[in-house]
Amino acid sequence: MLQSEILTSLFQEAVKIRETEELFLKLFSEGKLNGTIHTCVGQEFNAIAVCNCLRDNDFVVSNHRCHGHYLAFKNDFSGLIAELMGKQNGICGGIGSSQHLFNKNFLSNGIQGGIVPIAAGISFAKKNESKDDIVAVFIGDGTFGSGTLYESLNLISLYNLPLLVICENNFYAQATPLREHLAGDIIYRVKSFAIETFQTDTWDLENLIVASDEAVSFVRNLRKPAFLLINTYRLNAHSKGDDNRDPKEIELYKQKDLINRYKISNPDEYNKMYQTAVNEIKDIASKLESLNTLDIENYITKNHKQNNIEWGKIEYTNQKISDRIYKFFNDYMKKDSKVIMIGEDVKYPYGGAFKISRDLSKLYPTQVIETPISESAITGFGIGLSLMGYHPFVEIMFGDFITLCMDQIINHAGKFYHQYNKQVKCPVVIRTPMGGRRGYGPTHSQSLEKFLIGIDNVKVIALNTLIDPYEIYETIYNEYDQPVIVIENKTDYNKLNSILELENYEITKSNEKYPTVKISPVNHKPDLTIVTYGGSVSLIKKVIDEIFYEHELFSEVFVISKLSPIEVDSIIESAVITKNLITLEEGKLEGGIGSEIISTIIEKVKVGLNIKRIAAEMVPIPSAAELENFVIPNEQKVISEISELIHE
């Protein structure tokens, strides 16, 4: 039996959380809140039971219905109320509001399933650095429809992580009842991953507290994962008022609700609790009402482009691109134990699909993590590590598979910095080989970088053979601020980082963090401006030579490293002189990198330009060599299309 003082304290906390949720609904009806609200009315004791077992250094990850978890763990009513009122002194400056909260060791995001691999990455860091800290992640029954959850449960069990997954099963995935969205049994699903399970419900308070304590203690003491299923019920709608459940069912659970039962059995005690909670919460809200929202200038982050770009000599290593990438990892893993490589088949003896990791797992066994085929989860895992001060490099075996990572990139890594009001950085690095010319066919030959540009806070870098990749990766390591996606062209791995032998041309690089290479005619004004990147550099020598021999025209070529955010000032200077602007890429024409380069330049220049985009044909890339060579830009196609532009 729970002691009466403990029972009173638990109900005081639950009533205060409930009345905070009711305040939010009231403020929304008065037009004082913007957006949406997901209240935990009916589920308050779940959060209290679990969070009362946690310690200050533990980490909690939550979902869209996170208010109760936050209040039970942080006891920060003022910060949460200010956040939902859109005030600048809210937890996240009013930016995240109901679903997106961050406060040191509490994080919530509104994407079901996507939070779980991030929690796994955080718990991996905790396992490395602490003997008893754990991570708790709250999900719902609806999350069991998300494939990322199963990828994550597999990782959690494989790596034996100190992570407690709590499922609040309120029998509805938004509006769809459990019987219509989940086959089989939740517990059996989790047990299939060899994870210890515990089960309880909201309405037996003593059992809820005991089960929560047992689950937390299991994870903390054994440093192994566990799963806690709490059967529960939300008494309010999914969000503000969109409730299609049977009113009789809701009424049944209202009668079963612990707070409502306490109200009947202990009216005097309840009224004191209720009045105290209401007075405290109203007082907080009234003091916040006159405060300001965040200034837009403080929210928007402007890209700080480099002024006074200077061009200098390039130092070539004359070593293979793959060797230089390997050397970076070898050097920096030796230097920094928090440099982690994550990916499929990256361990020795296989050493990665393109043999970048080689023997690194033998040299640094704790820093090379081999994973299942789980692109979404391993990306989220890397994100979690990056939040904890690690330098994770996630290898996606083929760039074609980056589509499986897009939720993690767009809705998590790219969002965290701004949605949490710049309290956190997410410097995860995703490496992936793109491009064709190896006969791998439609699903292993694509150049999909156009889908990666323009994502909030995400830099996209393309390696090429003219810039030492060691230099690029060293810059990424030292910057350590935003998510970075690095495109490595497959056919470049075995090429040398070496000079292009061109007569009457000077090859220089800019002093930008991610250098642009400029190939300029010596003692001649250029007639054409060509912009390219990545693997297309291999075509440039013949194109420059043939255009000169056939048309007596000099080309000025810019090989860019940074695709997003793109910077075009140096290209503009050339295009204004030549009046002819050509972009060359291995990706598809429509909506491609070339389109972005050209539209950005056209916005800034006042002179008319002759424009040509050269890119892959708008069909899947075939395996047959002759067909592949036709679909992807080849030297003759590039020369032919430039010739057409000249003759127009």
Instruction: Write the pLDDT tens digit of every residue in 580-593.
Output: 999 999 999 999 99
Residue 532: which CATH number? 3.40.50.920
User: Could you tell me if 553 and 467 lie in one domain?
Assistant: no
Is position 474 within any domain? yes
Is position 466 within any domain? yes
User: Could you tell me if 83 and 47 lie in one domain?
Assistant: yes
Nearest to 393 by CA among 491, 513, 483: 483
Cis peptide before 349 (omega within 30 of 0): yes
Task: State the pLDDT at residue 297.
Answer: 85
What is the pLDDT averaged over residues 525-535? 97
The whole domain housing 607 covers 505-647
Residue 56 to residue 68: CA distance in whole angstroms = 17
Task: State the pLDDT at residue 531.
Answer: 98
Q: What residue has token string 């009046």?
A: 579
- Pairing mode, if any, of strands 555-559 and 429-434? unpaired
User: Could you tell me if 528 and 427 lie in one domain?
Assistant: no
> Could you give the C-alpha distances from 618 to 271, 438, 453, 512, 634, in angstroms and in order?
69, 19, 19, 34, 15
CB atoms within 10 A of CB 504: 12
User: Could you tell me if 446 and 326 lie in one domain?
Assistant: yes
User: Could you tell me if 132 and 244 lie in one domain?
Assistant: yes
User: Could you tell me if 487 and 615 lie in one domain?
Assistant: no
Q: In what order do the strands lie in the sheet with 226-231?
A: 106-108, 59-62, 135-140, 163-169, 226-231, 196-201
Task: State the pLDDT at residue 242.
Answer: 76
User: Could you tell me if 534 and 482 lie in one domain?
Assistant: no
pLDDT of residue 541 exceeding 70:
yes
- At 115, is the secondary structure helix, strand, or coil? helix
Task: State the pLDDT at residue 648.
Answer: 73
What is the pLDDT averaged over residues 78-87? 96
pLDDT of residue 2 exceeding 80:
no
Model confidence band, residue 420 (pLDDT cutoffs 50, 70, 90): very high
Residue 169: which CATH number? 3.40.50.970
User: Could you tell me if 475 and 327 lie in one domain?
Assistant: yes
Q: With pLDDT > 90 as the criterion, what percentage of the chain qualifies?
A: 89
User: Could you tell me if 385 and 473 lie in one domain?
Assistant: yes
Phi, psi of 186 (to 5 degrees): -60, -50
Numbers of helices and strands, H then E, in the chain:
24, 22
Is position 304 within any domain? no
**Count of structural domains within the chain:** 3
Domain end among 492, 516, 539: 492
User: Could you tell me if 452 and 372 lie in one domain?
Assistant: yes
Is position 243 within any domain? yes
Task: State the pLDDT at residue 563.
Answer: 98
Q: Tell me the β-bridge partners of 616.
A: 588
Sign of the alpha-carbon torsion through 622, 626, 627, 632: positive
pLDDT of residue 1 exceeding 70:
no
Phi, psi of 54 (to 5 degrees): -85, 160
Instruction: Write the pLDDT tens digit of every residue in 309-354.
Output: 999 999 999 999 999 999 999 999 999 999 999 999 999 999 999 9
What is the pLDDT averaged over residues 68-91? 97
Is position 24 within any domain? yes
Domain end among 290, 323, 342: 290
User: Could you tell me if 233 and 144 lie in one domain?
Assistant: yes
Domain end among 492, 513, 529: 492
Residue 29 to residue 506: CA distance in whole angstroms = 67
Residue 613 to residue 597: CA distance in whole angstroms = 10
Is position 310 within any domain? no
User: Could you tell me if 9 and 71 lie in one domain?
Assistant: yes
Model confidence band, residue 4 (pLDDT cutoffs 50, 70, 90): confident
